[in-house]
């Protein structure tokens, strides 16, 4: 079946959550949002493109920082309301300079930083 | 810093998206939602507990099917508005009987099933 972005189940704001996973290491890098046009652009350009809810604009990941996300494969979940993008990430994915946004772990009830900003 | 679930940034519906990842294989299993109390219950019981938006009720993953998700580690993203749970998954995570909900991949513009229901 040919993929049609309009067949996804977008929420009331017209968005789907998107999980970005490193295609090689399988590390989860970040979670962000796409609207239908962002899905289309990601697919057509090979550069992962989100919809920024705060700025209300398209957000080509890494366009400013240079830390681009290159699309390796896009996957859809069973409910068609969440996407998984396998990516080749240049540099850190997190705006804090860390590889992943999920750098805080709970251990023994305490928040622990398990990743440092890259040098 | 001690973890306080109320310090998370919940959306207008009082929810955060939660990514479930197999703690051993690093496979992404599913994405679902938690409210503050679901985070608390997950943390206290060690059984991953979501908030079902369709049923508007707590949903101990696997309580009916037996396919429990045991919490291995909980991680928080930089914006504190998304969680990652590393889990030990009993049986399939997807209601279709597949290991992961993300069993549909786009290849050459076509939707391809890359995982079959478990026997």
A28 within domain boundaries: yes
Q: Find the mean pLDDT for residues A75-101.
A: 97
pLDDT at A1: 79
The answer to whether the beta carbons of residues B89 and B104 sit under 8 Å apart is: no
Please indicate, yes or no, if residue B35 is contained in any of the structural domains: yes
Supply the pLDDT for residue B1. 79
B96–chain A nearest CA distance, Å = 8
Tell me which of B53, B84, B108 to substitute to probe the interface with A (most A C-beta atoms closer than 10 Å).
Answer: B84
Largest CA distance in chain A: 47
CATH number of the structural domain spanning residue A87 = 3.10.20.810
Q: Which residues in A lie closer than 8 A to residue B11 (C-beta atoms)?
A: none
The 10s digit of each residue's pLDDT in B3-17 is 999 999 999 999 999
State the CB neighbour count (10 A cutoff) for residue A112. Answer: 13
Residues from chain B that touch A19, judged by Cβ atoms under 8 A, are: 19, 28, 31
**In this structure, is the dihedral angle defined by the CA atoms of residues A8, B55, B44 and B23, taken in order, positive or negative?**
negative
The parent domain of residue A43 ranges over 13-113
Is residue A119 domain-resident? no
Q: Do B111 and A76 touch (CB under 8 A)?
A: yes
User: Is residue B115 scored above 80 in pLDDT?
Assistant: yes
Residue with tokens 């949002």: A33
Q: Tell whether B82 is in a known binding site.
A: no
Residue A1 in domain: no
Inform me whether the C-beta atom of residue B46 falls under 8 Å from chain A C-beta atoms: no
pLDDT at B107: 95
- Domains in chain B: how many in total? 1
Looking at CA atoms only, how far is residue B33 from chain A in angstroms?
11
B6 assigned to some structural domain: no
Q: Does the residue B3 lie in any domain?
A: no
- Which pLDDT does position B12 carry in this prediction? 94
| Alpha helices (H) along A33-100 | 36-45
Q: Judging by beta carbons within 10 Å of its beta carbon (0-12, 13-18, 19+), is residue A117 exposed, middle or buried?
A: exposed
* pLDDT beyond 90 at A96: yes
Q: Does A106 touch chain B (CB under 8 A)?
A: yes
| Residues near B90 by beta carbon (within 8 Å), at least 6 away in sequence | B62, B66, B67, B68, B69, B70
B7 assigned to some structural domain: no
Average pLDDT value for residue range A76-91: 98
Q: For CA atoms B5, A28, A35, A51, give the dihedral sign.
A: positive
| pLDDT tens digits along B81-112 | 999 999 999 999 999 999 999 999 999 999 99
In the numeric block, the tokens 């400013």 are attached to: A64
ipTM, interface predicted TM-score of the complex: 0.96
Minimal CA–CA distance to B65: which of B98, B39, B37, B38? B98
Give the pLDDT confidence score for residue B16 in this predicted structure: 98
Q: What is the reported pLDDT for B9?
A: 98
Per-residue pLDDT at A58 exceeds 80:
yes
Query: How much is the mean pLDDT over chain A?
Result: 96
Answer whether B109 touches A (CB < 8 Å). yes
pTM: 0.97
Mean pLDDT for the stretch of residues A11-36:
98
Three-class secondary structure of residue B38 per DSSP: helix
Dihedral angle computed from the Cα positions of residues A19, A21, A27 and A33, in that order, rounded to the nearest 10 degrees: -30
Nearest Cα to Cα of residue B49 among B32, B65, B25: B32
Give tens-digit pLDDT for B51-71: 999 999 999 999 999 999 999
Distance from CA of A26 to the nearest CA of B (A): 6
């Amino acid at each position: 079946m040919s993929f049609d972005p309009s067949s996804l189940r977008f929420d009331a704001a017209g968005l789907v959550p998107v999980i970005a996973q490193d295609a090689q290491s399988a590390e989860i890098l970040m979670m962000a949002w796409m609207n239908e046009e962002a899905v289309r652009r990601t697919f057509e350009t090979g550069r992962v493109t989100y919809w920024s809810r705060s700025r209300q604009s398209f957000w080509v990941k890494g366009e400013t920082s240079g830390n681009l996300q290159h699309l390796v494969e896009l996957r859809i979940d069973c409910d068609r309301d969440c996407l998984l993008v396998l990516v080749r990430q240049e540099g850190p994915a997190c705006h804090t300079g860390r590889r992943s946004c999920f750098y805080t772990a709970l251990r023994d009830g305490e928040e622990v930083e398990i990743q440092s900003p890259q040098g």
